[in-house]
Amino acid sequence: MEIGSKIRELRILNGLTQEELADRSELSKGFISQLENDVTSPSISTLEDILQCLGMSLSEFFARDKEPVQTVFRDEDYFEKVDDELGNMTEWIIPNAQKNMMEPIRLTLKAGGSTYPDNPHEGEEFGYVLKGEIILVLGSERHKAKAGESFYYTPDKNHYITSKKGAEILWVSTPPSF
């Protein structure tokens, strides 16, 4: 990591000269120059003082080197699995969501399609019907939901979703289980 070039960048962004930064941080202009040219390295306390003058904490300063976290996901990011036998397509709309606390998917059911029956497990499941109509089977109970309606349950019974005419749903599981 090149601390000096990052400090120079921040100094310029703050509209300061080397002399002004030196005055504010009670250091010499020569030290700031050597620091920005990576000739010398500051102690942690000196770096904290400089960063305070630049309006930044140590953690923010070092976090700037991290890869940006993807926030928006598009079709090309999705991973899909088609199950012709059950007549469904599962799209993982947040890649690698298994490492997160919740896992959203888009599920498309063909007419007569269903999900694989799932055994009871920990967590919670939520869904929103985007198109069509589904039947949510929870143990011996059957619940209908149509476009614009949502469902929520604790998966403490065998469960699955089916659709007579086809449907598309947004389904979120926590913890990830898809």
Consecutive sets of 10 residues in the chain, 178 residues long: mean pLDDT of each?
87 92 94 93 93 90 72 90 96 82 94 96 96 98 98 96 98 84
Residue 64 pLDDT? 63
In the chain, ranges of CATH 2.60.120.10 domains: 75-174
Which residues touch 135 (CB under 8 Å, ≥6 apart)?
142, 143, 144, 161, 162, 163, 164
Residue 67 pLDDT? 65
**Does CATH place domain 75-174 in 2.60.120.10?**
yes
Q: Which residues pair with 168 in a beta bridge?
A: 108, 131
Residue 48 pLDDT? 93
Domain 3-63 fold is 434 Repressor (Amino-terminal Domain) (1.10.260)
Q: What's the half-sphere exposure (Cβ side, CA atoms, 13 Å) at 177?
A: 19
Residue 178 pLDDT? 66
In the chain, ranges of CATH 1.10.260.40 domains: 3-63
Residue 1 pLDDT? 61
Which residues touch 131 (CB under 8 Å, ≥6 apart)?
147, 166, 167, 168
| Whether the model pTM is above 0.85 | no
Residue 16 pLDDT? 92
